[in-house]
Structure 1
Amino acid sequence: MRTVTFGMNISIDGYCDHTIFDPTEELYDYFTGMMDDVDLLFYGRVMYELMFPYWADVAKSKSGTAGENRFAERLTAIDKVVISRSLDSVDENTRIIRNNPAEELLKLKQQPGKKISLDSVSLLPELIAAGLIDEFHLVVHPIIVGKGRPLLDAGSLQEKLKLKLVDTMVFKSGCVAHHYLKQ
């Protein structure tokens, strides 16, 4: 069975709005390296629209830094699934699933392949409750913002999820990457 990983940048106070972070080349290299073991990205609509077409444009134009360009090329090359009831069209290596994200992710998890990378805060509680997420990669940025989108809304989990810390990495920027496995 394939492994499902969830990765997210968060502030010290638990917010994950991507507009508040200023990733370094080191962080782009970290996330690009994580994608070496991934052959499917599983997005909610909001995250998909945040990431694309922006990164697809960077990959085509090579308009970013060296780290951004490598990240963009790797990200856009991977097949994607986006959960959406409203999207009409997506990139060529992306397909839309209209409902039942947990059921669809379970089917994908049972297929042969590399890891599946989940990137959706809105789907997180449902997919945690379904027991479908095996690994968590949280990069904590040294910033307190006091507002924005929290990683999880209060009361969104019926029961707590116990994790085991298996690795940490400290970056020159002060960011700390935490890698957890579901217990």
Structure 2
Amino acid sequence: MRPLRYAINVTLDGCVHHEAGVAPDEELMQYWTDGMKRADAQLYGRVTYEMMQSTWRRPTSGEWPDWMSAWEIPFADAIDRAKKYVVSSTLRGVDWNAELVTGDLRREVERLKEQPGAGLSVGGVTLPLALADLGLIDEYEFVVHPVLAGHGPTLLAGLRERIRLELIDRREFSSGAVAMRYRPRKERT
């Protein structure tokens, strides 16, 4: 069974908005690229899928845009090639190496997890909240940036029940960001 990992950038005050000043530098972009290699596929909700596609899909010309730094290209290549599953009740079709996931969320994600492989990665805000509420996330990875946003969507806002976590890895970056990986703690009875 392959694990489902939730990975996201977050500010010190819990903001997870992509425009909250948490854009990765070269060192962090390499970290995220390495993380892409630990997953067989990406799992997105509609909003995250459309946002990622608008930024990271290789243009039809085959050339990456001028705004993209050379150190961003390995990540762009990795995400462009990655298998993607898109959970949506409004989209009628997807492309960009993607498959539409509809129906019962628990059943469909459990089906994906039962397939052999290294793992699935989920990003975004709304879908991970639903997956956490269902107890389907096997690992949480937060890259906490030394920024106070003061506004915006916050990490797992609205979670129905507390999830106790145990730290399994920690890494500091020269920017002051800290990556922390956690597993849900098995409750002792």
Q: Which residue of 1 aligns with 2:15?
A: 15
Size of the alignment, in residue pairs?
Answer: 181
| Stretch of structure 1 that moved more, 69-78 or 52-61 | 52-61
The Cα of 1:163 is off from its aligned counterpart by 0.7
* Contact 1:169–1:176, Cα closer than 8 Å, also in 2: yes
Unpaired stretches in structure 1, ≥5 consecutive residues: none
* Contact 1:14–1:150, Cα closer than 8 Å, also in 2: yes
Q: Considering only aligned residues, what root-mean-square deviation do their CA atoms show, in Å?
A: 1.6
The Cα of 1:58 is off from its aligned counterpart by 6.7
SS at match of 1:95: strand
Alignment of 1:1-183 (within 5 A): 1-20=1-20, 21-57=22-58, 60-63=62-65, 64-153=68-157, 156-183=158-185
State the one-letter code of the partner of 1:18.
Answer: H
State the one-letter code of the partner of 1:19.
Answer: E
* Contact 1:102–1:126, Cα closer than 8 Å, also in 2: no
Q: Distance in 1 between matches of 2:59 and 2:36?
A: 17
The Cα of 1:84 is off from its aligned counterpart by 1.1
SS at match of 1:53: helix
The Cα of 1:167 is off from its aligned counterpart by 1.3
The Cα of 1:103 is off from its aligned counterpart by 1.7
State the one-letter code of the partner of 2:34.
Answer: G
Q: Distance in 2 between matches of 1:103 and 1:159?
A: 21
Distance 1:111 1:32, change over 3 A: same
TM-score normalised by L of structure 2: 0.89
CA deviations on 1:29-82 (whole Å, 9 max, x unpaired) are 001001112111110111111110320137942332222100010111111011
Q: Distance in 2 between matches of 1:25 and 1:92?
A: 25
* Contact 1:58–1:72, Cα closer than 8 Å, also in 2: no
CA deviations on 1:125-157 (whole Å, 9 max, x unpaired) are 32112221111110011110111111122xx22
The Cα of 1:89 is off from its aligned counterpart by 3.4
State the one-letter code of the partner of 1:12.
Answer: L
Q: Distance in 2 between matches of 1:22 and 1:108?
A: 30
TM-score normalised by L of structure 1: 0.92
What's the % identity of the aligned pairs?
37
State the one-letter code of the partner of 2:173.
Answer: F
